[in-house]
Amino acid sequence: MRSVLALLREYLSVEPDEEITHAVGAHRGLRGRAARYLAPERLLDVRGEGHVGPSRVGGVLGPWTIIGSPADSAGKLARVLAPSARWLRARYPDQKPLGRRPRYTRELLSWAMGRGCSPLSPNQEAEV
């Protein structure tokens, strides 16, 4: 929310309500990775036919640079790389306990290489 309010103020000259700005701590401007990620030139970059966008992993990690703190991002990444046994049990109820984590890891790597759908969103269609 801080980044969105800063984006509105800096690039679109919109002045959000002072009470909202203060409540979310958006009194500073965009800085560092958030400024680079939300730069209008980058957001509006439309390339010609055949342009290949960011990788799947890059597409996931990019927004994390503006959401929360580095510790929040690291925590989210850790939960994706090593989900809890409870989550794995719910995701793969038919799989034997010792086979759940290897199966998840294979599916995650397959997704990262663009060869399968995300194990986090099994209802999405594979883009292969």
From the number of C-beta atoms within 10 Å of its C-beta (0-12, 13-18, 19+), residue 37 rates as: middle
* Mean pLDDT within 52-57: 59
DSSP 32-91: HHHHHHT-HHHHT----TT-----HHHHHHHHHTTSS-HHHHHHHHHHHHS--HHHHHHH
User: Residue 30: how many CB atoms within 10 A of its CB?
Assistant: 22
pLDDT digits (tens, 9 = 90+) for 94-111: 999 999 999 999 998 888
pLDDT for position 60: 65
> What is the percentage of the chain residues whose pLDDT exceeds 70?
70
pLDDT for position 126: 45
Query: What span, in angstroms and rounded, lies between the C-alpha atoms of 24 and 29?
Result: 13
pLDDT for position 123: 60
Mean pLDDT score across all residues of the chain: 76
